[in-house]
Structure 1
Amino acid sequence: MTKLYQLLFSSLILLATSTCYSQTKSIWTEADRKFLIDNLERTKLEIINQTKSLTSEQWAFKEDSTKWTIGQVLEHLGLYERIFAQEADIMLSSTPEPQLDSISLPDTSYINWMNDPSPHKAEWNAEPLGFMKGSDNLTFFLFGRNHIIDFIKNTTYDLKAHYTYRWGDEKRRSIHALMVVHFGHSDRHLKQIRKIKDNPKFPK
């Protein structure tokens, strides 16, 4: 078989696969959509409630020199709104791989990972710089969160058929799973915010 025929054959196989997939029922269901929206909205509202009445001193309080302020926690969360939105956008342009759903980890595995109290190291691109002041950090977070919620509400993509590339043992992760990690990450840092506010030295 010549290279031209090989290329033509490969193109026909890809077209047939894509056509077959487009005619099948989406793996990602309306119940999955609701699950993500409910939890993304829930964590958004909890973050608003935990920070809406903070003073400038409270936003900037540090438990010690090695810890983040509440402002930095919100900046970190806001950065991840953009990082995960971009990651999802890139991978949604890839060829669907619905066959990977059968070997994907359950949602509970990601939620349990985020609930693990052991320290997590922030990636360099999610390290807060602390230059924003007070409630500007909340505004920064909400702009990104509302964008992601609107995307989840309106997307027609199958979020369990498009996969990201990851490091370590888990090589692939669906966009749906990415968003489960996302709201779990918010819950993790809500605990951090409450811990900062419970510090006896937290400004009154």
Structure 2
Amino acid sequence: MKIIGSISVCILLISTFVSATPSVSAADPKLTPAERAEAIKMLKQSEKEFLDLVENLSDEQWNFKPAPFKWSVGETAEHIALAEGLLFGLVQQTLASKPNPDWETKTQGKEVVLEKVLAARTGRAQAPGAIQPMNKKMTRAEVMKLFKEGRERSLKFIETTDASFKDHTFDNPFPVFGTLNAYQWFIYIPQHNFRHNKQIAEVKANPKFPKS
């Protein structure tokens, strides 16, 4: 009887310990308030930086090319505007995909990679044909309209969406980025903007850049 009683006490103690131990739950795939705020901040900062760089340029400055095969300020601006539409579409496509059960492992730390590689303008990459400026030949007014409309749409979306962002993924064609979740694809928009803002600043710093 003593043995049975001891076993019963042990079982009771184990049961109590197990029930008192918090279970390890998966991370929440929805945006945190901090993530939403950071995305909004980056969109607004990259927009302001871009507009400060281009809005007061003359047509000669807008069209100046530092070399025959290098983009002008206008061409770079067109690329930024076109890319925002493409990237926003990729975000929607990613959100429409099935949740990836390995999203935490596949996408961990990619926000830092985007900042260090994309925004910092590390390395070079060939833009897809659909967002190559020479394929569109847009006017300056069309470029600015497209940019402002796209940015307004992006801001409105991230400010109001309740979508589950982080468990939906899509592979980036560049191996350095690999699998990105929908949030990371979204912040690709301002990070890409920051990247090409630097390119515009480089064009403007060229010794041959028109004075007015």
TM-score, normalised to structure 2, is 0.78
Maintained 8 Å contact 1:59/1:70: yes
What displacement does 1:182 show?
2.1
1:77 paired with 2:69, answer no
1:122 paired to 2:127: yes
CA deviation vs aligned residue, 1:3-56 (integer Å, no higher than 9, x gap): xxxxxxxxxxxxxxxxxxxxx954421111111110011101111111110111
96-105 vs 147-156, greater mean Cα deviation: 96-105
- State the identity as a percent: 26
Change (3 A) 1:127 1:26: same
Say which one has the larger Rg.
2
Number of residue pairs aligned between Structure 1 and Structure 2: 181
The 3-state SS of whatever aligns with 2:192 is helix
Note the C-alpha offset of 1:168.
5.6
Instruction: Give the structure 1 partner of residue 23 of structure 2.
Output: none
Deviations 1:46-85 (A, max 9, x none): 1111111011111111001011111111110111111111
Alignment of 1:1-204 (within 5 A): 25-97=28-100, 99-106=102-109, 107-114=111-118, 115-129=120-134, 131-167=137-173, 169=175, 171-204=178-211
TM-score of the superposed pair, with normalisation by structure 1: 0.81
Stretches of structure 1 lacking an aligned partner (at least 5 in a row)? 1-23
CA contact under 8 A between 2:39 and 2:158: conserved in structure 1? yes
Q: Secondary structure at the match of 1:59?
A: helix
**Structure 1 residues 140 and 122: CA distance shift in structure 2, 3 A:** same
Partner of 2:21: none
Amino acid at match of 1:70: V
**Cα separation, 2, equivalents of 1:54 and 1:116:** 23
Q: Compare 158-167 and 51-60 and name the one that shifted more.
A: 158-167
CA RMSD of the aligned region, Å? Answer: 1.9
Gaps of 5+ in 2: 1-26
